[in-house]
C-alpha cells in the first residue's frame, strides 16, 4: 500500500498536480497516527529507519523527496504523542515528589504507579 501511495505521489509530483501555489510546497498528508506511547515509539523507530535508508542515496530523486515529505508527517505525529505522554509522566512524577515531601504515602503510591506504568515503554 505504501508503494502504491509513493508511486501515485511520484506521478503527481512529476505532473505538478501536488505542488501547491507558487510556493512549490507539497500538499499536506496526515501521516500514520500514534494513538499511544508504544505506537509512537514504534512509528518513530520505523520512520527513522526509513529516513536513514532514503538518505543513503547519493542524490535524492523527486520520488524519494516525496517519500521523505510523507514520512515527516508520521514522525511529527510520533513526536507529538511522545511529548504529550512525557508531559503526563512529569505531572505524575511531580505528585510523587510532592507526596514524598509531605510524607503522604497514598499520594506517593498512587502517582508512582501511574508514572511507572506510563514510563514503562521508554525503559523497555
> Rounded CA gap, 39 and 78, in Å?
8
Helices and strands of the chain, counted as H and E runs = 4, 2
> Which pLDDT value is given to residue 20?
43
Indicate the pLDDT class of residue 66, thresholds 50, 70 and 90: very high
39-64 per-position pLDDT tens digit: 999 999 999 999 999 999 889 999 99
Mean pLDDT of the chain: 85
pLDDT of 72 > 90? The answer is: yes
C-alpha to C-alpha distances, 25 to 13, 37, 69, nearest whole angstrom: 10, 30, 10
For residue 10, is pLDDT > 50? Answer: no
Question: Does 19 have pLDDT greater than 90?
Answer: no
Q: Is the pLDDT of residue 9 over 90?
A: no
Where in the sequence is the domain holding 34, given as residue range(s)?
Answer: 2-123
Share of the chain above pLDDT 70, in %: 77
**How many domains in the chain?**
1
Amino acid at each position: 500500500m505504501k508503494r502504491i501511495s509513493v508511486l501515485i505521489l511520484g506521478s503527481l509530483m512529476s505532473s505538478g498536480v501536488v505542488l501547491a501555489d507558487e510556493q512549490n510546497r507539497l500538499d499536506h498528508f496526515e501521516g500514520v497516527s500514534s494513538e499511544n506511547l508504544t505506537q509512537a515509539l514504534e512509528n518513530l523507530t520505523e520512520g527513522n529507519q526509513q529516513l536513514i535508508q532514503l538518505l543513503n542515496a547519493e542524490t535524492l530523486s523527486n520520488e524519494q523527496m516525496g517519500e521523505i515529505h510523507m514520512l515527516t508527517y508520521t514522525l511529527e505525529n510520533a513526536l507529538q504523542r511522545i511529548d504529550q505522554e512525557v508531559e503526563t509522566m512529569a505531572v505524575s512524577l511531580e505528585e510523587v515528589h510532592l507526596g514524598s515531601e509531605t510524607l503522604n504515602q497514598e499520594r506517593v503510591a498512587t502517582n508512582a504507579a501511574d508514572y511507572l506504568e506510563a514510563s514503562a515503554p521508554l525503559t523497555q
